Structure 1
């Protein structure tokens, strides 16, 4: 009879196997993210992903379920890594509403603009913003909705408790849109603005101050604005 392996040896072997599986899964995720970022979900193929990751074509189904689940995991990985690098700052009771808005906008701009645009994670997130897929729905529910909720609380604090739900959302989307503009239109800004002006006025800190001042002034003034009446369609 052969000698049975000890429990310690079995445990070590199991740990090694799990580590190897984690490494393979991570390698597939990284290579898939690069291809998805360059070509989008529809144009990317499982065969190419597996070739670049140096795994069998069945590995995608084994580790992720299917191509769509792999794509969703790649987008989540991109968002989580960038968000963890620039987490939302914490404020105290003494922090003013305008300062909270500045801290929020600064963090969001850092996530958008301070990541190397050639990085596949940033390219993939930008593609997802401009061409939303089913992955976008999950990210909105799990990540963006809580993040957006922080902004809505700041707006409610600035405008007052009587602000309507649709005005709250419109104002929040306006703030977010100003930030996303500078990511989606890097080349446009680069063409229209001189290098000297970009260096002096279009760095993250200066953009955050501008967006905050512009938005906060609008929030304060909106208290005195009448509620717009919806226009009815005319035949």
Structure 2
């Protein structure tokens, strides 16, 4: 018997459009019921339950019962990172065609959550700006934050010393094909952006809307021109 990774199990789990759509819905880090995921994939709840069991057996999602509802979510940060990286290999031209249609608006390209951190044009712009301003120093596939008042304005509390895992690391963005920031630092950024109403979640959509307050904050604190992000504005 040859000891090789069972990529065939993962391949079989991903080789279905409905399962892929449900995984993409779960990539924003929230937990959803079978009915909600069925609606996102355009299939019946019964069919969704069969697909979700397949994904769970492959180790891609986990499930938790709360009251009468069974909730599903991505099995962990490492799974989300692998899926986002894998997505960079897939064609994305269909997203841009949607954006170019008359009246089309693909907020997913401008701002979204990648598990527990910001992604899309906004996520990459944050990484680029923090690098340019000297608040983040690239160090291989990680980032070293430099203490400054800017972090307080962004709702980020820097650690006193090294932790068990990188505080900030690079995550290849699916649509931008450049790196955004992941890790505990990026999680704090998203949490603060949501709490401050800089970005807003949408019902039934993974894309985030950027509020007028958010456009102003990102421009004032990080020198990201509001016109650059206005396509995803609320």
Greater relative contact order, per chain length (Cα 8 Å cut-off, separation 6+): 1
Larger radius of gyration: 1
Q: Give me the TM-score of the superposition, normalised by structure 2.
A: 0.32
Report the structure, 1 or 2, having the larger strand content.
2
Report the structure, 1 or 2, having the larger helix content.
1
